[in-house]
Structures are given as C-alpha cells and as structure tokens.
Structure 1
Amino acid sequence: MPSLKELPLRRPQPPAPADSAVRWERVDPDRYEILLLDETRGYIDVVGAVFVVLAGPRYDRAVEVLQTLDFERAVQAVCPAGTPPAGPS
C-alpha cells in the first residue's frame, strides 16, 4: 500500500444528483458541507489525500468521526442510508 505522501491530492467532487436527499456543497476550497433534506448534518475536510469527517450541524462544534480515502464512505459516515432528518432543535 502506498504511503499517504505518495497519494495524489483530491480534486473537487462532482455535485450530488439533483434528486438526492443527501447533498454536499463545497463551502471552502478544502471543505464540504453535508446536507440531508437541506439540513446540515456534518462536514468533510480535505487534508491532502484524506477526507476528515466531522458530524454536527455547526462546524465549530462538530466532532471528528472518521478519516478515509473514499468520499462516498465519508458522506455515509455523516448520513447513513435511511437516516431521518434531525428535526427541530
């Protein structure tokens, strides 16, 4: 397995399908906001070749839950299939 220094930097991810309940928006050159039915569920920071997944509606309070090389796995860590919306806070 190649070391992380040998892996290429990540390119921006294509947008989610228009009819998808789970979507992501690039909010910074190295950050995506993950939304479920237009409610923020978490963030993905791009650190070199690694996706660092943060769960929570506010970036300043989000908690790291996963580091992965796979963007789809990163999204699933925040919004697993069948996850209901968070509801009112």
Structure 2
Amino acid sequence: MTQSEIIAQLQPIFDDLFMDKVELTPELTANDVEEWNSLLQISITLAVEKHFGIRFRVGEVEATKSVGDFADLIARRAVGS
C-alpha cells in the first residue's frame, strides 16, 4: 500500500474524530491542528489499529512527526504484522 493510499484511508478516520475538517497531507503535523491533542492521538491510534488490523509498539507512534511518517509506519506494520 502506498503512502497516498494509506492517507486516503486515514481521512475518514480523522473526519470521524475531529470536530473541524482536517485535510490530511503528508506534511501535516499535530502542531498544525489546534484540536489535535494527546487524548485525541490515543483515539486516532486505536482507530487506526482497528481499521488496518495492526498493533503499534510502545513509542512508535510518538516517534512520527507528520501524517506522512505515520502513514509510512502503518505500511511497515501492515507488512510486518
């Protein structure tokens, strides 16, 4: 799965979790979105694990800096699960 394909699948997850529309791009970071806090990050992580049928290791998600990094991590976990 490509980064673009993963981001396209992430969009509806973000649409469900955020009150305001967040247009996902590979460069987007949590700092760019006022609503994106640590509690919402937990919800995002759980929803992504469920959607993609993967489990993240401790610290993996926190190490990502952008949506593109997160998509790349999802791709690696999906292949390595």
TM (normalized to structure 1)? 0.31
Structure ranking higher on relative contact order (CA contacts 8 Å, 6+ apart): 2
The structure in which a higher percent of residues are helix is 2
Please tell me whether Structure 1 or Structure 2 has the larger radius of gyration of its CA atoms: 1
TM (normalized to structure 2)? 0.33
The structure in which a higher percent of residues are strand is 1
